[in-house]
A and B are shown apart, each in its own frame.
Chain A
């Protein structure tokens, strides 16, 4: 079990455990046995009038640190709900979700925010960049909420953009001045901003052409090779080939 390391930049009374992401995992991180994401009999039930919808119906699995996982499922299978659970955006109706060994059910909003901020980097199908900010500023956002100094932020954001293979002349471009692939690179750079141990990608190639999509997946693969756990939620069977592990979900259950 990993011991708590207090990260110096944020003091938080609710901090329960480590922010494993703040210390970068070594390159050849042998996938340890320590599951970075763990779900135990997770149910998520939405009530619509008198109907109960079982978006997740008793899902259990564990994802090891350093793994590259695709969660496959068709639309309505519950994979988005699953993604929200892992991303600390939503809590289960019953069951247990642990991220980096922290039981999410015991956290309040701010606690969830903190776990999310320190452990998860989000990549969306729609890129979800903030349209009024430049590429560089978009990448700075998560670091801003993490309390990084402006100078360090800028430096790190540039490094992340470089890591995501965005040509630097685009750093001061707004999202609408970039192609889809470039926007997704900015989004990946943003997801990497706080060095999270987990990258959570929701249909990352869904809005890209095949070649750009391939390039983005290659980038994710490289990041995985450098130690980051990558979880890709998709309905596209082609993405399976990039992954070490595939979890299939249908009607709220693992198959």
Chain B
């Protein structure tokens, strides 16, 4: 192996231009791969951050046939004891009609205990105006989304009228405005649990408990545990299957594109190595005459293709990481999908996997030229000029 490596290195060194070109070809493909992988990971992360992270990971709902969960404090105690549950928030949620001046709108009114809801859904970090905590002590108040506020021309401190069939109409003061950059901004409003219970005239009941988990991937498992206890419960991946679907579709199409790019780059290696074989026919003949086995010759060219692949993979990932991080640092103009930066995430795992795959792919790509070199007829090879 050592002498084949030695000869392979000499070949690579002696043909600087070809070496640089073929390493660059692989490198560029790998760079694109790395950048797009970083985008993909960043996008996925962002999607999770924007959605799953703000969603309750598991929602406990009333038993089948019931509209409400009575005696909910007891249940909360029990779910809080489940390993993996880090926060819980009881809520009473319903529809309501909103009216301000001449503007009307229907939206969801969610009665919550502010501190607990924030622990589950991290609302506070999205508050752009006012004080979310005020909900806890200020009666008849409401927190709305920026989009909702714009549509209704509401400002902080305005009073919005709410009503609904079978509900007690009331007027609520806007005490805070949040902005998540998602569709939630238009459709969900928050008030205190007490206010919601007064509005819907239900007494001290709730119709859901939101849970936050240490690991959001355990949502189905924990939902199942709660179901086993006799309540209805569903994980976010069941209630929001479109999130997983979006990620799956994105990553499949991304992977297909990347696969083609890599395939093209590997063909580049095949053709480069074929050229090397052509240029080295005489030398191969000499080596055969000097006692090299066909397997020695094959190994020399396999090593060359592996080395070119490895160099391309290393340089490509390095360039890709730098490029991805610099693109990720570039601020977006306001209001593009609610993003301020292009989401980019470079994961060590991705880097290792990419380097390994590219290296192996190049080894495979090297088989044909290596085989060709090994099967040269020494007599003809030597007499080549």
Q: Which residues of A come within 8 Å of B, CB atoms?
A: 84, 87, 89-90, 109-110, 113-114, 116-118, 122, 124, 128, 130-133, 141-142, 144-146, 190, 194
A-B contact pairs, 24 of them (CB 8 A): A84-B379, A87-B289, A89-B378, A89-B379, A90-B379, A110-B293, A110-B295, A113-B291, A113-B294, A114-B291, A116-B291, A118-B291, A122-B289, A128-B282, A128-B286, A128-B289, A128-B382, A130-B286, A131-B283, A132-B11, A132-B13, A141-B290, A142-B291, A190-B290
Q: Return the CB mask of B3-45 against A: 1 if under 8 Å, else 0.
A: 1001000110110000000000000000000000000000000
The answer on a CB contact under 8 Å between A113 and B379 is no
Once A132-B11, A145-B3 are accepted as A-B contacts, the answer to whether A194 and B379 lie under 8 Å apart by CB is: no
- Residue tally, chain B, CB below 8 Å to A: 22
Cα distance A168–B234 when bound, in Å? 84
- Which residue of chain B lies nearest to A128 when distances are taken between CB atoms in the complex? B286
Name B292's contact: one of A122, A145, A194 (CB within 8 Å): A145
The answer on a CB contact under 8 Å between A145 and B293 is yes
A126 nearest CB across to chain B (Å): 8
| CB of B296 within 8 Å of the partner chain | yes
The answer on a CB contact under 8 Å between A113 and B14 is no
The answer on a CB contact under 8 Å between B289 and A145 is no
**Which interface residue of A87, A116, A144, A190 has the most chain B CB atoms within 10 A?**
A144
- Which residue of chain B lies nearest to A119 when distances are taken between CB atoms in the complex? B291
Cα distance A146–B292 when bound, in Å? 9
Cα distance A109–B293 when bound, in Å? 8
The answer on a CB contact under 8 Å between B382 and A146 is no
Q: What A residues does B3 contact at CB under 8 A?
A: 144-145
- Which residue of chain B lies nearest to A81 when distances are taken between CB atoms in the complex? B379
- Which residue of chain B lies nearest to A84 when distances are taken between CB atoms in the complex? B379
Name A109's contact: one of B14, B287, B290, B294 (CB within 8 Å): B294
- Which residue of chain A lies nearest to B385 when distances are taken between CB atoms in the complex? A126
The answer on a CB contact under 8 Å between A146 and B291 is yes
Once A89-B378, A89-B379, A128-B382 are accepted as A-B contacts, the answer to whether A113 and B293 lie under 8 Å apart by CB is: yes
| CB of B233 within 8 Å of the partner chain | no
User: Which residues of B, 261-296, contact A by the 8 Å Cβ criterion?
Assistant: 282-283, 286-296
Cα distance A111–B280 when bound, in Å? 24
- Which residue of chain B lies nearest to A124 when distances are taken between CB atoms in the complex? B382
Q: What A residues does B292 contact at CB under 8 A?
A: 113, 145
A218 nearest CB across to chain B (Å): 24
Q: What A residues does B288 contact at CB under 8 A?
A: 89, 113
Cα distance A125–B50 when bound, in Å? 75
Q: What B residues does A118 contact at CB under 8 A?
A: 291
Name A122's contact: one of B6, B14, B282, B290 (CB within 8 Å): B290
The answer on a CB contact under 8 Å between A145 and B379 is no
**Which interface residue of B3, B291, B296 has the most chain A CB atoms within 10 A?**
B291
- Which residue of chain B lies nearest to A113 when distances are taken between CB atoms in the complex? B293
A110 nearest CB across to chain B (Å): 6
Q: What B residues does A142 contact at CB under 8 A?
A: 290-291
Name A117's contact: one of B291, B295, B382 (CB within 8 Å): B291
Cα distance A144–B7 when bound, in Å? 11
The answer on a CB contact under 8 Å between A145 and B10 is no
Q: What A residues does B378 contact at CB under 8 A?
A: 89
Q: What B residues does A132 contact at CB under 8 A?
A: 10-11, 13-14
Q: What B residues does A117 contact at CB under 8 A?
A: 290-291
Q: What A residues does B6 contact at CB under 8 A?
A: 144
Given A128-B282, A145-B3, 5 other A-B contacts at CB below 8 A? A109-B294, A113-B292, A144-B6, A145-B296, A194-B291
Cα distance A89–B376 when bound, in Å? 11
The answer on a CB contact under 8 Å between A110 and B290 is no
The answer on a CB contact under 8 Å between B287 and A141 is yes
Q: What B residues does A116 contact at CB under 8 A?
A: 289, 291
Q: What A residues does B291 contact at CB under 8 A?
A: 113-114, 116-118, 142, 145-146, 194
